[in-house]
Amino acid sequence: MPLYELKKDDWRPLPQSPASSLVAFVDGGNAEIVKTPSAEIHRVRTAAVATSGSRIAMVRQKEGFLTVKASVQDSGKIVYKAQLFDSNLDRPVTENNGFLELESFGISPAAAENDGSGLGRAAGAMRRILELAAANLFIEKGLSKNYDGGTRKFIVLDGTLETFSSREKSEMESLLAAASGNNIIVGAVAKTCSLLTTEGEPLIAAADRISEGKDGYIIVSHEKNERHKATVCVARLNQNASYIFRVETADAGDLEAFLAALKLQSNDLAFPGYPYGLIMADRFARVSGNDAEITKSKMAATANAEMKELLRQEKALDAHRILDSM
């Protein structure tokens, strides 16, 4: 993994925006509905928002439910098996007879926010696979059709291009192959970044210091790992932005075009410097706590025998919640 020294002279101006571009922003959200020691049910949403210039050209929102169960193999490894139900979510290419499986070492530490449990993190990892499936199908249904050949096309993922399991890696490879076949550039923008410089300084803080408040970018690495092949930079996408972000593309030659497309999207007054399409994708994909509570009430009212058993098992973890609410 080649790393680069952060020098003021290497902070580059943003390239000019393309004359015509179609940019699809993809994000996902999930919320726990039922939680037991051995299984969880999550409500999951994915959203793809395509923008053409400064207008929204297309929105695809899908949702459903995901049951995640843990089992211990003879070898002692923990395996998480997930199954979709009541769902119109795009099916991942890695699905096996209606199931997805992940071993515990294939889960990103950041797979689920505010949830340290293996089941919760597994659900977050599954949601990520479903996001990639949504991006893959959006190429087929949206980006590869109805637009002239002179329009540059982009897929923007929320997060990074790094993968943490063979399932996620296969889904990413399928997405990149589909994008390449349709002349579409794939990249990602991460809202958070925990990387440090070799001197222990937060990468974002170090890049912010050398930028001197100017818009632009600096390349920090070319990742060569088989699970993360990407050119990574840190960029300020608007001269009035207080925040800078980690941005990456699958192909080094696509970075400038990708940054130019993001620049055009990053002048919203509510959050200057953050692409408007990602704000909208987050809004369409988010599953609120209120959504989760309403869904749980409906499930309890219409529960079949299996659901009633899960709700009964949930009481093994309920006492703490009751005390927290008092």
Higher pLDDT, 156 or 96: 156
**What are the tokens at 95?**
């699905």
The residues, ordered by sequence, that sit 6+ positions from 237 with a Cβ below 8 Å of its Cβ are: 14, 215, 244, 245, 259, 262, 263, 265, 266, 273, 274, 275
First to last CA, the chain: 51
Residue 321: pLDDT above 70? no
pLDDT tens, residue by residue, 77-95:
788 889 999 999 998 988 8
Could you say which DSSP state residue 157 is in? E
Burial class (CB in 10 A: 0-12, 13-18, 19+), 268: middle
- Measured over the CA atoms of residue 8, residue 247, residue 169 and residue 288, the dihedral's sign is positive
Q: pLDDT value at position 112?
A: 47
Apex 183 CA angle, 89 and 186, nearest 5: 55
Helix ranges (DSSP H) in the chain = 118-138, 166-181, 203-211, 255-265, 276-285, 289-301, 305-314, 318-325
Query: pTM for this structure?
Result: 0.88
Q: Specify the length of the chain in residues.
A: 326
pLDDT tens, residue by residue, 298-309:
877 777 777 777
pLDDT tens, residue by residue, 232-266:
999 999 999 999 999 999 999 999 999 999 998 89
Given pLDDT bands bounded at 50, 70 and 90, which one contains residue 109?
low
Q: pLDDT value at position 139?
A: 86
Q: pLDDT value at position 95?
A: 84
pLDDT tens, residue by residue, 168-194:
999 999 999 999 988 899 999 998 888
Overall average pLDDT of the 303-316 stretch: 72
Q: pLDDT value at position 114?
A: 41
* DSSP one-letter string for 103-146: EGGGS-TTSSTT--SHHHHHHHHHHHHHHHHHHHHHIIIIITSS
Overall average pLDDT of the 312-318 stretch: 67
Give me the architecture of the 8-115+128-290 domain, per CATH: 2-Layer Sandwich (3.30)
Given pLDDT bands bounded at 50, 70 and 90, which one contains residue 13?
very high
Beta strands at 184-190 and 152-158: parallel, antiparallel or unpaired: parallel
Closest of 300, 214, 287, 232 to residue 61, by C-alpha: 287
